[in-house]
Structure 1
Amino acid sequence: MLPCLNKKLLGIECPGCGLQRAVSLIFQGQFREAFLMYPAIYPLIPLLGFLLFNNFYPVKHANKIIIALTASTILLIITNFIFKL
């Protein structure tokens, strides 16, 4: 795993800390542990999947879906970051 430079230099975790470990846990089938490690992983996966799908097969109201998924992902990232402080 790549080390977090923010954590090494400043001593506090960045908003993305835990993402790599959460992805690794998902590939190992440990879904609960992945959520506990980085809660934003679950809205992030559909967001990335939808963005990829929308590139090949445009969806009529894609902007609204992308905004909703992005907002929920950002909200979880910020909430998780605040709780880690």
Structure 2
Amino acid sequence: MLPCLNKKLFGVDCLGCGMQRALNLLIHREFIAAFKMYPAIYTLLLLALIIIINFFYKIKFAQKIISILAIINVLIIVISYVIKMNQLI
């Protein structure tokens, strides 16, 4: 797996830390462990799927759906990051 440059340089997790491990857990069908590793994994995959589908087949209201999913993802990522950082203190 690729090392986190932020963690190597500064010793602090970044907002994306755990995403690769969560994807690896999904590949190995460990769905709950993947969610615990990176809570935004499922909404990110849904967002990526919608973007890919919209690229080939235009979805009605795609921009609105993508915007809402992006906001939800940012909220999940930031909230889970804050919770993780508070547990380390």
TM-score, normalized by length of structure 1?
Answer: 0.96
Work out whether residues 47 and 70 of structure 1, in 8 Å CA contact, stay in contact via their aligned partners in 2. Answer: yes
Partner Cα distance (1:80, 1:30) in 2: 19
- How many residues are paired up? 85
Partner Cα distance (1:59, 1:4) in 2: 35
How far did 1:38 drift?
0.2
Higher relative contact order (CA 8 A, sep 6+): 1
Work out whether residues 22 and 34 of structure 1, in 8 Å CA contact, stay in contact via their aligned partners in 2. Answer: yes
Percent identity, aligned pairs only, is: 48
- Residues 22-81 of structure 1: CA distance to partner in whole angstroms, max 9, x if unpaired? 000000000000000000101000100000000111011111100111111111111111
Equivalent residue letter for 2:82: I
TM-score, normalized by length of structure 2?
Answer: 0.92
Equivalent residue letter for 1:36: K
List gaps (5 residues or longer) in structure 1. Answer: none
Equivalent residue letter for 1:68: I
Question: Which residue number corresponds to residue 63 of structure 1?
Answer: 63
Specify the SS of the correspondent of 2:17.
coil
RMSD of aligned alpha carbons: 0.7
Question: Which residue number corresponds to residue 2 of structure 1?
Answer: 2
Work out whether residues 23 and 34 of structure 1, in 8 Å CA contact, stay in contact via their aligned partners in 2. Answer: yes
List gaps (5 residues or longer) in structure 2. Answer: none
